Amino acid sequence: MKTPDEIVLTQLTNQLRSAYRKCKTTIYYDNYSSIQRLELSNFEKSPMIYEIEYNMVEFFQELAKIIFDEDEFDALTDFICDKIDVIAFPKHVAEGDKKENEVIRNFHLNNFNMDKLHYFIDLPIIGHVIGVLWILRCGYLLDDKLYKNCYGNRLNYYLLDKLRNKKSEYYVENDCMEFTPFLFNPYYQNYQSWRDNGLESVNKLLDDKKNAIMISLDLKEYFHRSLIDFRQLNKDLMDTRKYINEKFNYSNESSPEDEYNIEIDNRLTKFIEKVFKSYSDKFDRQYSSKTLSNRKINTDKYPMIPVGFSPSLIISNWNLQGFDQAIVENVRPHYYGRYVDDILIVLGSHEKSESHGLQQIEEKTFDELIERYLTDRDYPKAHIFKKQKRKNENIYRIHNQKFKNSRGTLIKYHYEGLEIQGSKLKTYFFSHKYSNAMIENFKNEIRKNSSEFRLMHDLDSIKQDFKENLYKINYKESINKIRDINNVDVNKFEISKILSRINWISSDTTDTIDDELIKNMVDAFKGKIFDYLTLWDKLFTLLVINNKYDQLHDLIRYIQRNIANITYVPIKENSYKFVIKEVNDADVVKKSLMKYLYYNLNRVFSLKFNPSIKKIIDEVQGGFPLDMEVNFVNQISNCLYASMQNTSFMRYPLQDLSYIFEDFDGSESFDLIKQKNGCRKLFEGFCYPRFIKLHECILHTINNELFCKLKTNPEEYLDDPHKFLNDYLEKKNVDNLNSTWDYIENAFDIYQKKNFANDKNMYKDYIKKNCGLNCSEDSHCPLKIYDETQFKDVNVIKILGNRKNRIKVGLLNTNINFNNFENRILRKPDLSSKRFDKIKLLINESIKKNVDLLVMPEMYIPYEWIESIVKISKDHQMAIVFGVEPIEHKDKLGNYIMMAMPFIYNDKYHECVLMYRPKNHYSSQEMMQFEKYEMKINNEDIAKYYMCIWNDIHIVPYCSYEIASIDDRSIFKSCCDIVTVSEFNKDTEYINGIAESLSRDLFCYCIKSNYTEYGGSCIIQPASSTDKYVINLKGGEDDYIVTHDLDIKKLRKNAIKSDKIADSSNFEPKPPGFWKNNVKERY
């Protein structure tokens, strides 16, 4: 039996593992964390871990022992705090004089004069990990009690729900079972809720015949002006923990483990306080001599909130609880929402109200509104702000007062330095007597932007967006008069959006983006290079993917020169002074930007490396400061080791997990964006920075099954016998994947190991069960092969989903370039953007029409684009059946049919299963085409088929000539609802006749998709001659989608009815030997 201290150490080690992963994920996704990303990479490949002085697991065991020992942890705390430094980035470029601002140019002047800066904490990685550990043990208690309409920086819902459990209060043993590595909810989710709920509140008032006032506020420099009282924070933590024990009737008797844990929690909170204090001591923070309450602000006693430290996000919300409470309880608005330091308040009243009827709101200025509703002038309880005169303007500071928390304990927050930011104040007045068009227009713009992100984007539309939306023109009055142009500025949001889309297109296609577009994009950055700091990596990626190495070199040198010329003169504040002590702020900015540039380049170069990039490195590394350690090759290797690249631009999933870093010395080239990197085994790293989706794992195993080959020349292994063993074992494993769902099983191994950091197969089974994935289980489909003399490999897979009685099917009407087949055989596939754009337009039309099942022709999708197709299926929960261009496998060539079947796990997580098989039967004309190029066909002796049960609909995919086999097309008799047939066949009358028989014999819908050159795309039902064709497309040049709702319940109902009783249905009688019981089980 373990002793109490051993139990606590085990728990603490597990918590540190979880904390590290969440820390790594947070850093991976943070736009401003480029420096931390690479420092984390360096940490993982540091000698004590990488050279196995002890591995990561042992490292956390040692760290747990240090935290457990008070003296050792104090020494570690001092070490970490001594390493704390400041990172500073430009926030605002100083404006010129008014006359200069009246000049409008189609280019930007270089301006290196900064008057506002972003400050971030520079903290050792171990400090960040301990910070996340504090959140998992203590900080979640503060987050859990926040006001419901506090939206920003909230803990991940799944994680918080788990931590609420008493068993997880100190111990997160089952953390590997979490379905997310995220610590906080994504920014965009909560921000949308905060904004949309405010607008809906206004709409509700107007619908109820009430007027509405919406006030938008922003707290000025909130993080730097905050004063955190850790004595009050500790008091609140203790009180909250006591409250939870009482609420859930937990025993008040403390165990030895509880006593240890309480000591550790207090130790961790002291660590957080010391980090806050050490960072704050780096700055000279001076307020005006007196505050409104006539007391001097004690900045030495109360530290500010460091930006870039995870506990800061929790504490920043906790610190404004009193403010939230005061508004909700004393002002009682119709809606109150706060996103960090951005505030929305909605007030409402009847038309005849004396406080804000139409006449009153027409007459009110912003100052009058604030004074009436948010100060004690008219309502003593509504004492939110205190007014102060400063020169010719009114300043509103938050009023200090004590607040009772939900348990009745008095908490004192220090709001002495907090005031409203005048430049961001907005007030909106709405009368129910007038049109609500302004609200609706705003909501429509939001919907338009949201819908844009849902679609695939073609290159022509991106170019058009770039031309039309790059520059944002603001007018004084008329848009028709040139003199009314107020200013012209580059639209940062549009640049970011367009850059991402161009990079995705560039990674998928063989085209390079034209020089004019590249030049215009780079020119948009000129003169605004520091305003677009967070977009540097996207711009670098664009140039690297498109092999624009000269432009990349020139851009890097341009940035280096601009950094060297930066100056900083802060805006003079009468009430507040904030500068870094002992060093020049401009020098800190230069140092930070050089690191930011260096680390961004390394991250991009870890996606693709070749002699051209090595030449750039050799030419630009002299532009970095002499006192800065610069070693690109070593840094790229570290980034590869820690998997910190932007994987969204990789054509093939999990390329970043191959063992490229192992021998990387800068002498060999690699390309993770467009190429498959051989048969490298996946790197078994400690933890991956993002959650790997199931379809990525499946596609990776399919890649290995189809393309992984052992070298045939043994001499190639002479220099590396170990490589031979790895390749042999990998290929042996691949060959064993043959005919069943083994590739999905293999994908699940990767899925659970990478996402849950646990080697126990029980977790894989648990995940599969909860995803609803069941392979070849007879209980779900009593499938029988009728002719036992025919060797067939038949499999069934069931996927999680709500039962659908109707399904909207989409059918393509599209043509084909007959050269695609020849180009593929000659290993020169057409991967042009023109071809992909055509496919994207059809998919977008399907998305807009809310298609449930999209059926595509045979040989329609190049293998290189499968990942993009499957991602669309996952994101939009649209099942897609598609034929893939011929694939060369084991010296044979053949066509493949694939099904992307999406599902949602836990009502939240979108996933997708990808199924594939080779085509079983070819016509004589098809075989002649292969023989023409002396290629053998890969049809196996054992025919392979499968059925997918998706949303309780039984779907079977075929290729065109396969249904010509009487035996093969009868396999699924009485077992399926839909048969899809992907075609590339000009003998449409022959195949249509077979499809009609198939529909009748199996009593199912038959969906055929062919090319417009041949016609024959149709939906057939088992009905009379006049009604059997639901859709029948016969050609044409235009590309479009035709949809139809198929009634699955009606089909099944007629399948189990007696044919002896006439009814009004247009369905035909069932064939002899039809098994009605099969249909009854799924009715």
Structural domains of the chain in order of their starting residue, each with its CATH number: 4-84+123-429 (no CATH), 457-558+603-768 (no CATH), 772-776+786-1082 (3.60.110.10)
Residue 343's pLDDT is: 93
Instruction: Tell me the whole-structure pTM to 2 decimals.
Output: 0.88
Rounded CA-CA distance 91/867 in Å is: 38
Rounded CA-CA distance 476/486 in Å is: 6
Rounded CA-CA distance 664/672 in Å is: 14
Residue 749's pLDDT is: 84
Check residue 354 and give left, alpha or beta (phi > 0: left; psi -120 to 50: alpha): alpha
Rounded CA-CA distance 1042/297 in Å is: 69
> Coil, helix or strand for 902?
strand
Task: Report which of 622, 596, 453 is spatially closest to residue 537, judged by C-alpha positions.
Answer: 596
Check residue 146 and give left, alpha or beta (phi > 0: left; psi -120 to 50: alpha): beta
Residue 488's pLDDT is: 61
Residue 699 — φ and ψ, nearest 5°? Answer: -65, -35
What does the pLDDT look like over 119-147, one tens digit per residue? 999 999 999 999 999 999 999 999 988 98
Residue 424's pLDDT is: 67
Q: How many CB atoms lie within 10 A of CB 902?
A: 25
Cβ(1020)–Cβ(1006) under 8 Å?
Answer: yes
What does the pLDDT look like over 271-309, one tens digit per residue? 999 999 999 999 988 766 554 444 556 677 899 999 999
Number of helices (H) and strands (E) in the chain: give both, helices first: 38, 32
CA-based angle 883:884:885, to the nearest 5? 125
> Coil, helix or strand for 591?
helix
Rounded CA-CA distance 660/677 in Å is: 8
Q: How many CB atoms lie within 10 A of CB 772?
A: 17
For the record, the structure tokens of 42 come out as 């360096």
C-alpha gyration radius of the chain: 32
Cβ(273)–Cβ(92) under 8 Å?
Answer: no
Rounded CA-CA distance 262/8 in Å is: 11
Residue 345's pLDDT is: 94
Residue 791's pLDDT is: 46
CA 932 to chain centroid: 46
Cα-Cα-Cα-Cα dihedral sign, residues 914, 915, 918, 921: negative
Please name every residue paired with 999 in a beta bridge, in sequence order, or none if there are none. none
Cβ(1019)–Cβ(794) under 8 Å?
Answer: no
> Coil, helix or strand for 376?
coil
The residue count for the chain: 1083
What parts of the chain have a pLDDT lower than 70? 48-54, 95-111, 166-179, 245-254, 287-298, 350-364, 378-379, 404-408, 422-424, 446-454, 471-489, 573-576, 659-663, 677-681, 683-685, 709-740, 757-792, 1061-1064
Q: How many CB atoms lie within 10 A of CB 1007?
A: 29
Residue 714's pLDDT is: 39
Query: How buried is residue 820: exposed, middle or buried, by Cβ count under 10 Å (0-12/13-18/19+)?
Result: middle
